[in-house]
Amino acid sequence: MIHSLFLVNASGDIFLEKHWKSVVSRSVCDYFFEALERATEPENVPPVIPTPHHYLINVLRHRIYFVAVIQSEVPPLFVIEFLHRVVDTFQDYFGVCTEAAIKDNVVVVYELLEEMLDNGFPLATESNILKELIKPPTILRTVVNTITGSTNVGEQLPTGQLSVVPWRRTGVKYTNNEAYFDVIEEIDAIIDKSGSTITAEIQGVVDACVKLTGMPDLTLSFMNPRLLDDVSFHPCVRFKRWEAERILSFIPPDGNFRLLSYHVSSQNLVAIPVYVKHNISFREGSSQGRFELTLGPKQTMGKAVESVLVSSQLPRGVLNANLNPSQGTYTFDPVTKLLSWDVGKINPQKLPSLKGSMSLQTGASKPDENPSINIQFKIQQLAISGLKVNRLDMYGEKYKPFKGIKYMTKAGKFQVRT
Amino acid sequence: MPYFGSEETVKELKRALSNPNVQADRLRYKNYITRVIRYMTQGLDVSSLFMDMVKASATVDIVQKKLVYLYMCTYASDKPDLALLAINTLRKDCADPNPMVRGLALRNMCNFRMPGITEYIEQPIVAGLRDKASYVRRVAVMGCAKMHSLQPNIEIDASIVNELYALLRDPDPVVVVNCLRALEEILKDEGGVVINKPIAHHLLNRMKDLDSWGQSEVLTFLLRYRPRSDDELFDILSLLDAFLQSAHAHVAVATLRLFLHLATAHPAVQADALQHTSGALLTMCGSISRELRFAGLCHVQQVMRSQPGLFAPHYKRFFCAYSEPSYIKFRKMEILVELVNDENVTLVLEELRSYCTDVSPELAQAAIAAIGRIARTYSEKCLDILTGLLALKQEHITSAVIQTFRDLVWFCPQSTAAVCQTVEACVDCPQDSEAKQALLWLLGEHGEQISSAPYVLEVYIDGLKTELSSSVKMELLTAAVKMFLCRPAETQDMLGRLLHHCIEEESDMCVRDRALLYHRLLQQGVEQTRKVVMGPKSDPSMSVLTGHQQEPVSQWVSNFNTLGPLSAPDLCIQTPLISSPEQPSNNAEEELLPVSKDVSPSIPKDDQEELNLYLGPPLSHESFERTWLDLEVLHRETLSYTRPRTTPDTLQAALQLVKIQTLAFTPGDTLPWKAYLYTRGNRTLILAELLQEDPDSEGRLVVSVKQQPPNQHALRGFVSILSSVLQTLNVDS
């Protein structure tokens, strides 16, 4: 299925390769490099590249291309999702998935790849099972290992596969029993120049960190389960019960896992938490342009909008921008024409603004496209769709667990056209 | 890799590894081994350390074992004699009480790619198949496949195959899936693993225990199974129902494919399944990972071939975001073009209009081409936008707009007047040769409607010396001759100059020959020339063939969820560039990999060989007649409709579009009406006769096909293509 895997960094060097069947020469990547050269931007490389004898399927994450070499017909989604799973696992193990982290942990990386695929077929990919096979490197463990000379490989086989509930190992014990849930929503939106919404949708997930002794059986109910009509669950959730009562009932896996992901797309349900007032104009014949931008919160239920970052690709004719931010800092790269403004937190009493002028190439005609503005932000303690957890109950065990729920809204692909 | 001092490094490592002091210190020893692995992964040749590394494998430390195994697997094929020394340690590990060590040793032993290893690994593998730890069984099952691939020519060991079939009932789900994978590889030459009724139902019942990867693969294997009865079919479908909603996109799509495949005879069920999964597909199109989004879009595109209306209410989901990579934007535009209906046309066009001024010229041109395709249905609105774009005076935009105009005029003649008006008003000339050709074609073809046409032509003729592209020159010749035929007074002088220049001074043979041809043609008289040069000015029937059409699901389901559609080139970029009207583009589906034909489990070989018709060298009337008389009729079919009531030209053009050449046909409405056709495809020549004897009301069209050499598959393909063309033409007229 997956014959080989090559990891290629942003400058086009192969820095790691792994073969599960026979060794495929590195020269197969030449087709990939050709495509990379043809693509003007690093992310423009098509995900599937046909070559005379192989297919190359690549995903780009954290500025690293994960290039899989395929020799026979496979469902493409299968490979793409698997590659993403590999990246997720690296991130889970090393905290970040960068070239440096992979090179530092090259031994663990090889161990992981060896366990995740056998003969090109997926073997163990569940994070908590892998972690029993190969212990993730932590600072403490690294120190201990150096002193005692012990290893980061579990000496025992994972028991999970042998229990009645395949995703949970038996005999789990904790002194503090805790269950935490994070409701994280990403809002994707396109706003047109008059401020009305063209598209808006919310991608939400509920991630859980459950550390409970024994075999707990949890039920989680929502205040407004009607919101969730486009939803997919972790295999542990009893689907019949959800269909009948709109209650999540499940025996959780041990540790971190994604309980469900959902999608809210009907527009009247999606509130837009930020508004932008803008005036970007170029005059015919003049070498100056005006730039004014003001941000403000709306429909945030009093929660603060934080970590705001505004970026915009200005037209090619712009030589420089001379702007004055009321708060935060801005940078303008004259080569890529990328303007980015790190705003920080929006204070509703004193709205942040960025005003000034842009200088254009003299003699150049007025740019015919207006730049669009990308905004990133975070809102703590708010799920913008209005999803709220009603209650969490535990059955099957005697102790009282500690429960916690956090909400967060982030901007996904949030774009304002001017 | 030629690093400086690489030899030194290897020597130093060798010294360290053989140093007894280092060997005594476990930690230092392991650190050196790690360094060897690190150098190895960087491409440094450390194979000379093989002996020292083999020694290091005799340890209780699992990580060290893993590292040494990794090293040995990489170099075993280079040093087979030394690798044999390591085998003993590995075989001992295969009997270790810790199942993890057993599995690890077995897996690595199977990964040694060197001749003669089979005699050592066969016994541990067979023992591993009966191991009580599922981890070892998984490895052993895969080991069988690896063992087979080491010596592919040796006869298949029936006892192992039987054992693997028996292990399909193993309690561990991964063992079950591994068995399928291994059997598939071992039995490749015999058509892969056999899925009979008990196995199919066993797998279906185990589905929920499998991990998502296993589910996806089992679903692909199940494509081979054909239920015996409708009751069984519906039992299977209801078992699969839950998986259509799977959290993993690849499982949901694999389930959909199986659904569509099983329910071939029940279009209602298929439509229902598509409706059911449309939500999941849309979610995939909005996924965070751009690769998944791309795959989602490709699948939506395929589904839309049968159900164009399914995604129309969600058209806003296909609007491009600024930060998306271009391959996603191209796909989204293609989808938007297909989605357009009366309600959303204004908004979609407005959206596409905003892409036309994008920074990337390719994207802008693709957007303009997309508007051009919508213009075939909603010409007025689109023409306004395109005309507005010309006012921007951006070179790449003007170029794309003019090419779009050319295609538009060819496909829908009603827009000709408006286009001509715009072209006349457009003052600046395009600079690239594609656009120049398009403009010249428009001027030549519709010169009588563009009053300034001769003067524009004159500019080109005067600038002939600096023109580099020979295809522009040829187009210029054709345009000038056509123009001469409709407006002789204004053109005569410049045509003379043009011909003179091309014949006397031109160095390009093709251009010179073309000029000579026109020269001689003109000597034959104007009427003769008109007959030769002037063809139909437009062909609306082609837009029927290329435009919206609901295809049956079976047309695309065979490559649904495969690599083909994802690696097909984007149509949007291609259309404006290749679809010169006289040479309709051949949108043949990308063929799968050559290897995949044998491996792909789903489709019988016969169907997968796609029929690619082509015209090849023309067949003379005599040789057609000879061949026709020599051959037997291989296939005769009475079609359910009469002969198309279109003009002969349209029929001919429509058939040519699908690469079928019309040789002769009865003119007018005389009966019996006959037509003779031929084409080539898949190494066979196909000849056909269409015959209608009785008056229209009762008579049906009879098609008789002869073939040399016979090829049933090509024949079936030909008949279906032919009948769909005739059907379309019938509907059209």
What is the structure's pLDDT at A184? 93
Rg over alpha carbons for chain B, rounded to the nearest Å, is 34
What is the structure's pLDDT at A166? 63
The candidate with the shortest Cα–Cα distance to B323, out of A413, A200, A36, A62, is A413
**Spatial separation of the C-alpha atoms in residues A239 and B334, rounded to whole Å:** 36
Neighbours of A34 (CB within 10 A): 12
Read out DSSP for B488-503? Answer: HHHHHHHHHHHHHHHH
Place of tokens 């008006």: B421
- What are the pLDDT digits (tens) for A108-148? 888 889 888 888 888 888 777 777 777 777 655 555 555 55
pLDDT band at B623 (very low <50, low <70, confident <90, very high): confident
Burial of residue A363 (CB within 10 Å: 0-12, 13-18, 19+) is exposed
Q: Which residues of A touch B177 (CB under 8 A)?
A: 121
Residue B300 distance to chain A (closest CA, Å): 13
Q: What is residue A203's three-state secondary structure? A: strand
CA angle A382, A384, A390 (to 5 degrees): 65
CATH number listed for the domain at residues B6-221: 1.25.10.10
Q: What is residue B692's three-state secondary structure? A: strand
Residue A306 distance to chain B (closest CA, Å): 22
**Spatial separation of the C-alpha atoms in residues B634 and B637, rounded to whole Å:** 10
Domain extents in chain B: 6-221, 429-542, 608-733
Cross-chain Cβ contact A72/B250 below 8 Å: no
What is the mean predicted confidence (pLDDT) over B284-290?
A: 84
Residue A271 distance to chain B (closest CA, Å): 17
What is the structure's pLDDT at B585? 34
CB A127 within 8 A of CB A213: no
Those residues with Cβ within 8 angstroms of residue A52's Cβ, 6 or more apart along the chain or in another chain: none
Q: Which residues of B touch A70 (CB under 8 A)?
A: 563
What is the structure's pLDDT at B55? 81
pLDDT band at B507 (very low <50, low <70, confident <90, very high): confident
pLDDT band at B597 (very low <50, low <70, confident <90, very high): very low
Q: Which residue has the higher pLDDT, A147 or B47?
A: B47
Place of tokens 């930020």: A274
pLDDT band at B573 (very low <50, low <70, confident <90, very high): very low
pLDDT band at B593 (very low <50, low <70, confident <90, very high): very low
Neighbours of B153 (CB within 10 A): 4
Q: What is residue B633's three-state secondary structure? A: coil
The answer to whether residue B733 scores a pLDDT higher than 70 is no
Q: What is residue B706's three-state secondary structure? A: strand
B33 lies within 8 A of chain A by CB: no
The answer to whether residue B174 scores a pLDDT higher than 70 is yes
What is the structure's pLDDT at B732? 61
Strands A230-233 and A305-313: unpaired
**Spatial separation of the C-alpha atoms in residues B535 and A11, rounded to whole Å:** 54
Cis peptide before B709 (omega within 30 of 0): yes
Strands A402-417 and A178-191: parallel
What is the structure's pLDDT at A67? 94
Residue B100 distance to chain A (closest CA, Å): 6
Q: What is the mean pLDDT of chain B?
A: 80
Going B560 to B566 to B568 to B573, the CA torsion angle's sign is: positive
The size of the A-B interface in CB pairs under 8 A is 228
Closest residue to A43, CB basis, from B74, B100, B290: B290
Reading phi first (left if > 0) and then psi (alpha if -120 to 50, else beta), residue A381 is in: left
Task: Identify the H or E element spanning B730.
Answer: helix B712-732
Q: What is residue A266's three-state secondary structure? A: coil
**Spatial separation of the C-alpha atoms in residues B328 and B463, rounded to whole Å:** 41
pLDDT band at B589 (very low <50, low <70, confident <90, very high): very low
What is the structure's pLDDT at B541? 62
Cross-chain Cβ contact B142/A234 below 8 Å: no
The answer to whether residue B410 scores a pLDDT higher than 60 is yes
Cross-chain Cβ contact B98/A155 below 8 Å: yes
Residues 398-427 of B with CB under 8 A from A: none
**Spatial separation of the C-alpha atoms in residues B688 and B705, rounded to whole Å:** 4
The answer to whether residue B584 scores a pLDDT higher than 90 is no
- DSSP annotation of B639 reads -
Cross-chain Cβ contact B133/A157 below 8 Å: yes
What is the mean predicted confidence (pLDDT) over A85-113?
A: 87
CB B13 within 8 A of CB B35: yes
Neighbours of A378 (CB within 10 A): 16
The candidate with the shortest Cα–Cα distance to A312, out of A334, A333, A340, A336, is A340
- DSSP annotation of A381 reads T
What is the mean predicted confidence (pLDDT) over B190-213?
A: 87
pLDDT band at B461 (very low <50, low <70, confident <90, very high): confident
What is the structure's pLDDT at A7? 92
What is the mean predicted confidence (pLDDT) over B284-306?
A: 87
CB A189 within 8 A of CB A414: yes
**Spatial separation of the C-alpha atoms in residues A15 and B541, rounded to whole Å:** 55
Closest residue to A199, CB basis, from B246, B250, B316: B316
Read out DSSP for A186-198? Answer: EEEEEE-TTS-EE
What is the structure's pLDDT at A412? 86
What is the structure's pLDDT at B586? 36
Supply B612's token pair.
């690619």
The answer to whether residue A358 scores a pLDDT higher than 60 is yes
CB A253 within 8 A of CB A210: yes
Cross-chain Cβ contact A76/B563 below 8 Å: yes
Torsion of CA B388, B392, B396, B397, to 10 degrees: -10
- What are the pLDDT digits (tens) for A168-186? 776 778 888 899 999 999 9
Supply A2's token pair.
């997956």
- For the B608-733 domain, the top CATH level (class) is alpha beta
Place of tokens 């060794």: A23
Strands A402-417 and A329-333: unpaired
| Euclidean distance between the first and the last CA atom of chain B, given in angstroms as a whole number | 69
pLDDT > 90 in chain B, percent = 5
Supply B314's token pair.
């969600």
**Spatial separation of the C-alpha atoms in residues B646 and B650, rounded to whole Å:** 6
**A56, amino acid identity:** L
Q: Which residue has the higher pLDDT, B26 or B352?
A: B352
What is the mean predicted confidence (pLDDT) over A32-54?
A: 87
- What are the pLDDT digits (tens) for B244-277? 877 788 898 999 999 888 888 888 888 888 888 8
The answer to whether residue B610 scores a pLDDT higher than 70 is no
- What are the pLDDT digits (tens) for A397-410? 888 889 999 999 99
pLDDT > 70 in chain B, percent = 88
Q: Which residue has the higher pLDDT, A144 or A10?
A: A10
Q: What is residue B456's three-state secondary structure? A: helix
The answer to whether residue B698 scores a pLDDT higher than 70 is no
pLDDT band at B57 (very low <50, low <70, confident <90, very high): confident
**Spatial separation of the C-alpha atoms in residues B338 and B571, rounded to whole Å:** 12
Residues 589-628 of B with CB under 8 A from A: 590, 592-593, 595-596, 599-600
Q: Which of B300, B593, B599, B608 is the mutation pick for testing A, counting most A CBs within 10 A?
A: B593
CB B124 within 8 A of CB B159: no
**Spatial separation of the C-alpha atoms in residues B255 and B244, rounded to whole Å:** 6
